Every structure is written in structure tokens, then in C-alpha cells.
Structure 1
Amino acid sequence: MSDQYTAAASAAPSLSEKLATLRGFLKAQKATIFTTRAKDGSLHARTMAIAEITPDWKFRYIYDKESHKDEEVEQDSHVNIAADGTHNNTGWVSIAGKAKRVEDHAVVEKLWNPTIKAWFADKGDGVHDGTPSDPRVVAFEVSVDEIRHFHQEKTTLGTLTDIVTSTISGATATPGSIRTITGQEISSAWAKNELREP
């Protein structure tokens, strides 16, 4: 069962179309909200910028291995990645997945950019210096379980018109479509070489 809005707004374009639209949406976002679960069950969220979306749709983030989020992912790999573009009428996304730590510094070197150093203080010991070789500098790689992407299809004026019309008529407003993508769909398409390089 789904609520009336989800039922009215669900759409079924092809997987390649859904992923292309989603990639465009994510490229326009400066950051995402990355949520982990603590040992007591509480949820902790913070802003993090995506460092890379791999061709097989793994999400990678650079982060500090000495942070709480590392401990939380170690004890529960389930995470959520979210981004909100409703302020500029582009929609939103919620990505449920599982994260793992990547300590391969070849990966870190690949994802590195100079601004990352600002988040790692130089401890002055010649090791913890905020460069890619710093042992604190590692990456999360998130494998997708399910993606829910609200793709905004109407302008601000169109959305307002839809809301007013739906309020009067008793219908459900649908300013866009909700697109669901499963990790299984992505894995299957990748195995069949059906996913295009970004």
C-alpha cells in the first residue's frame, strides 16, 4: 500500500532515464545529508559532499576515520543520503544503503582535492598533516539498497496552480513524479553492461 500522493506521483520511466535525471540532480547539489545510526539507536546527520559516484552507482565520500561517523558505520552499516532541491524547484532524493570504509589511499588520491585539507588539522607530527597520505583521510563507499527521487516537473507557478486546483477539486496535487530505483536493478543492469559511463 502507498499513500494517495505517492500513488498519484509514481512514474515508471526507464532505468537509464531515471539514473540520468538523478545524476543531473545530484550534480547540482553542493552537499548531501549523510545519516548514520548510533549504538543507542539515535540517528545522527551531517552535511557531506559526494566525492564520486562510480559507474556502478556507489557513492564515495572523503571523511576523517577518527570521527563518530566511522564508529557508527562500523557498528551499523545502514546509512541514508538525502538532498533537497525544493528551494529551487528541482525535487529531492533519499538514498538508503550500506556504507563501508575504504582505506585504499589510491582511491583517496583519486578523490582528493586541495579544499579537503581544510577539514583535517595538521598535528605537526609529519604524519597527520591533512594530505592524502594522512591515515585519518579515508573514504566511505555506499552501496545502494533503494533510491527514492522526487523529480520536480512543474515550475513554481505550475506547482501553485496544481495545489490550488487540487484543493478545489479534491484531487491529489502532483507537481512531479516519485521515481524508485533499487540496488538490485542497478546491479542487474551493471552486470548486463547496460549502465552508461557518466
Structure 2
Amino acid sequence: MSASTVHSNPVLEKNKDLVTGTEKKIEDLYKLIDGIKVCMMTTRCADTGRLFSRAMSPRIPDEHVPADLWFFTNNSSHKLDELVKDPNVNLGFYKPSTAEWISVSGTATLVDDRTKIKELYTPDIKAWFGDLNDGINDGGPNDPRIGLIFVKADTVHYSLKDVSAPVQIWNIAKGMITGEPPKVSAERELSSSELQNARRFEGVNKPLV
């Protein structure tokens, strides 16, 4: 094999999934997100330019397309200033029990739409805002402190477990002896063009605000 055809990351090449269609990749992505629940949202500090991550729980829309996510936020949060200055974000998910992971690169938009807030609101949201007992800031869907962050995905990479644990262990052990890259997961990508086409197909490729 010539030097030009040698893969510098043979494990990635072994596990790349190049056959699954866009619709199925999006469907499996949402199932994986639903099983993890919490991600780390990374933004850039408006003052220092340093990256900062915090745990947040996404709200998945009913329409499983096209890898876009909603988050509840406090309108007084510092991260809103960060997103105004630089809307580029990364969402990182990890499931320790299976070593599955997701990385979503996208742009965030601040949305103050009371109708959408009511649509996505669930009772657990109140626990994160509390009731100030002033008749206004009660942690309910009309609480003015509650806003939304919409993350429009630009690209998505994720690793999906597609072989059983015993097979994973066997493949890794065999690789230690033979040097053969082990098959342990399906490494998938949703490209920017795939997501744009999915939005057009679903009729959701329109501005939010």
C-alpha cells in the first residue's frame, strides 16, 4: 500500500458509516439525545474570549428534523451576552454506559416567543426558576425571566453503538493481537448540506425571528 493510501486514523476509517441515509441518521440522533438528556453547551466569553461550558437539557421538537434543538434559559444569564457577541456554539453529549457521544456545531438564536415557550414548557422548568411570590416571576410559562435558545445545527458528528458489548470486547482484544482496527461503533456525520436539504424537505428552513 502506498503512503498516499495509508489512513492515519484506521479506527475511524473502520467505523465510519457511509451508507445510512439522512432521515435515519437524524432519527437515531434524536433517540440518542433522548437517552442522554443533558449536554455541555460551549460558548465564548464576551469579555475574555475564552471558551466556557455549562450543562443544559435540550427540548427536542416533535418533528424529528433536522437536528435542531431548543433550550430554556434565564433571560438574565451571562451566556446571553456571549451569544449576542458570538452565536457559534458546540453541544457535547456523552453516555458513559455505552461510550456513545454526540458533537453538534451550530449557531444560537435568542427567542422571546411566549407561544413557543408554552409549547415546550414542562412542570420541571419551574424548579430551575423558583417562585418569587410577586405574582409575576412564578416560574410558570408566563414568567418574563424564561426565554429560549434555539440552536440551528450546522454539522453533527456522533458515535452510535451498533455491535454488542461482547463483540466490542472481542474486536478490541483481537486488535491488540493482530493490529487490526476494531469495529466498535458506527461513526456518523450529518453535513451542512444534508441538514439544509432536510430543512427544505420539511419546510422548516425559515427564520425564527
Structure with greater proportional strand content? 1
**What fraction of aligned residue pairs are identical, expressed as a percent?**
25
Q: Partner of 1:164 in structure 2?
A: 173
- For 1:2 and 1:193, how far apart are their aligned partners in 2? 38
Per the TM alignment, residue 77 of structure 1 is displaced from its structure 2 partner at its CA by 0.6
Q: Which TM-score applies when normalising by structure 1? A: 0.89
- For 1:151 and 1:81, how far apart are their aligned partners in 2? 16
- For 2:77 and 2:201, how far apart are their aligned partners in 1? 38
- For 2:178 and 2:92, how far apart are their aligned partners in 1? 33
Residue 182 of structure 1: which of 182, 185, 191 is its match? 191
1:170/1:5 CA distance change after superposition, 3 Å = same
Residue 93 of structure 2: which of 75, 83, 87 is its match? 83
Q: What SS does structure 2 have at the residue aligned with 1:132?
A: coil
Q: Is the 8 A contact 1:89 1:155 kept in 2?
A: no
- For 2:137 and 2:203, how far apart are their aligned partners in 1? 42
Deviations 1:76-109 (A, max 9, x none): 1111112112x22261111110011110010101
Q: Do structure 1's residue 6 and structure 2's residue 30 form an aligned pair?
A: no
- For 1:68 and 1:79, how far apart are their aligned partners in 2? 15
Aligned AA for 1:180? E
- Compare 138-147 and 175-184 and name the one that shifted more: 175-184
Q: Do structure 1's residue 145 and structure 2's residue 160 form an aligned pair?
A: no
Q: Do structure 1's residue 15 and structure 2's residue 22 form an aligned pair?
A: yes
**Structure 1: runs of 5+ lacking an equivalent:** none
| RMSD of aligned Cα (Å) | 2.1
Per the TM alignment, residue 5 of structure 1 is displaced from its structure 2 partner at its CA by 2.4
Q: Which TM-score applies when normalising by structure 2? A: 0.84
Q: Do structure 1's residue 51 and structure 2's residue 39 form an aligned pair?
A: no
Aligned residue runs from structure 1 range 97-176, under 5 A: 97-176=106-185
Q: Do structure 1's residue 38 and structure 2's residue 48 form an aligned pair?
A: no
Deviations 1:171-191 (A, max 9, x none): 222201210002321221331
Deviations 1:41-64 (A, max 9, x none): 222212211112363432001111
Aligned AA for 2:159? F
1:3/1:41 CA distance change after superposition, 3 Å = farther
Count residues in correspondence: 194
Aligned AA for 1:122? D
- For 2:12 and 2:122, how far apart are their aligned partners in 1? 39
**Structure 2: runs of 5+ lacking an equivalent:** 1-6, 205-209
Q: What SS does structure 2 have at the residue aligned with 1:108?
A: helix
Q: What SS does structure 2 have at the residue aligned with 1:192?
A: helix
Q: What SS does structure 2 have at the residue aligned with 1:53?
A: coil
The structure with the largest alpha-carbon Rg is 2
